[in-house]
Amino acid sequence: MKFLLLASVFFIAACANKSDIGQIPGPSAKVKRSDSIAIAYAYTSVSWTPQESNIKHGTDPRGILVHTPDKHLSAHGFSNGWWSPGQSQTGMPYQWGGFDTPQTFQQKIKRDYAAGDISTAAKRAGGDAVVSETATGIDCSGFVSRCWRLPRPYSTAQLPSITDPISWGQLLPGDILLNDRHVLLFAGWNKPGSVVLAYEAGPFPQWKVSANAIPTERLFADGYQPRRYHHIITDPP
């Protein structure tokens, strides 16, 4: 999970549609597997330049604590911060409860929203009540919800209600790997049966949407289970 293999780059590039990066389709009753992967790729490809005004380590106007995943994050006792103001960045930052599209994210960054808000024990305990309205980005389940073109974000606890369990051998691009606190979008196999290629919205290797090569041994140990969205469509040959 700490690295991105070159093979995953080739897979992602091959699966991405030729539509403009950053332009994602809206809600739909069904989603094609190729579209789910293209949407995921769009989130990894968002190009933006943060400013000092996008950094936040403190409470918002509603008293909700916000920590953006910038390079100063470690000074506040957390790891995997990554962006710096004034420098061009790629990939949408993680935001607890976030459900932004690439377009709305770009708009909010220009309006001085906090660029991301990491997940913490307090966030997980507080749930929706501690989602900051002054931050922008997307969280793991919001990301999957966008990739499946859902009309609203489904939490990790709600995703089982719209999916069915499948075996590891049945996994296809656009399926998910889910445990009790995180979700990954399966993109393919780097090594069949032993290393998966997956998209995720943080926290590894950083608090952002990224594509990673992940050993199944680690996924087994962390309790991930493969699941399939009820309304995902396999592309015609």
In the numeric block, which tokens belong to residue 33? Answer: 């597997």
Contact 142, 92 (CB under 8 A): no
Long-range contacts of 216-222 (CB under 8 A, 24+ apart): 216/168, 218/1, 219/177, 222/179
Q: CB within 8 A of 195, min separation 6: which ones?
A: 189, 213, 214, 215, 216
**Helix %, strand %, coil % for the chain, to 5?**
30, 25, 45
pLDDT tens digit at each of 237 positions of the chain:
333 333 344 344 444 443 345 579 999 999 999 999 999 999 999 999 999 999 999 999 999 999 999 999 999 999 999 999 999 999 999 999 999 999 999 999 999 999 999 999 999 999 999 999 999 999 999 999 999 999 999 999 999 999 999 999 999 999 999 999 999 999 999 999 999 999 999 999 999 999 999 999 999 999 999 999 999 999 887
Contact 225, 167 (CB under 8 A): no
Domain edges within the chain: 6-19+29-44+158-233, 47-143
CB atoms within 10 A of CB 176: 28
Question: How far, CA to CA in Å, does 226 sit from each of 73, 156, 216, 223, 229?
Answer: 32, 13, 11, 10, 10
Q: CB within 8 A of 24, min separation 6: which ones?
A: 39, 42, 101, 102, 103, 146
Which residues partner with 164 through β-bridges?
228
Q: What is the pLDDT of residue 22?
A: 58
Place of tokens 């790997």: 177
Contact 102, 137 (CB under 8 A): no
**What span, in angstroms and rounded, lies between the C-alpha atoms of 217 and 193?**
10
Look at the domain 6-19+29-44+158-233 and name its fold.
endopeptidase fold (from Nostoc punctiforme) (3.90.1720)
Q: What angle do CA 218, 223, 229 make, to 5 degrees?
A: 110
Q: CB within 8 A of 178, min separation 6: which ones?
A: 156, 159, 160, 163, 184, 224, 225, 227
Q: What is the pLDDT of residue 18?
A: 38
Contact 184, 168 (CB under 8 A): no
